[in-house]
Amino acid sequence: MREARPASENANADDIAALEEIIDRNEAAFREEDWDAASGCNQEFHFKIVNIARMEILGGMLSALWLQTGPVVSSFYQRGGRSMVDEQYAIVAAIKAGDADAAARVMKRDVAGSVEGIVAYLRELAQ
């Protein structure tokens, strides 16, 4: 969530194009119901934001976290629905506009919504 603010300040045209290309691939994966590819695009999108933000320490922490949570996120991705891609459009729009507050707000909503959904999913699996 903190990465969205500096990403909106640092992003150049190539960065925006790269983010949009990731979203395009994510859309294709959703259409094809290729949930592994969609989850991979989600991961790539978030890592790209951190890279644009130039937050190397956060990138290392995110890598470690993703190793631990990646399989759960991947299995949940199908259930996450359109919001998991739609939020990415909103994040890119805010970054493109240089609106750091909106980028941070949408990123927070994206991550919080995913966490809530994953926790509910894990509770269902535990029953």
Q: What is the CATH number of the domain that holds 93?
A: 1.20.120.530
List of long-range contacts for 110-118, beta carbons under 8 Å, 24+ apart: 110/84, 111/1, 113/83, 113/87, 114/73, 114/76, 114/80, 114/84, 117/76, 117/79, 117/80, 118/69, 118/72, 118/73, 118/76
For residue 33, the 8-state DSSP code is T
Residue-by-residue pLDDT tens, the chain, 127 positions: 577 888 889 999 999 999 999 999 999 999 999 988 998 999 999 999 999 999 876 777 777 777 777 777 777 777 776 777 889 999 999 999 999 999 999 989 988 888 888 888 888 888 8
Residue 34 has φ and ψ, to the nearest 5°, of -95, 85
Range of the domain at 18: 4-126
What is the model's pTM? 0.86
- What is the count of structural domains for the chain? 1
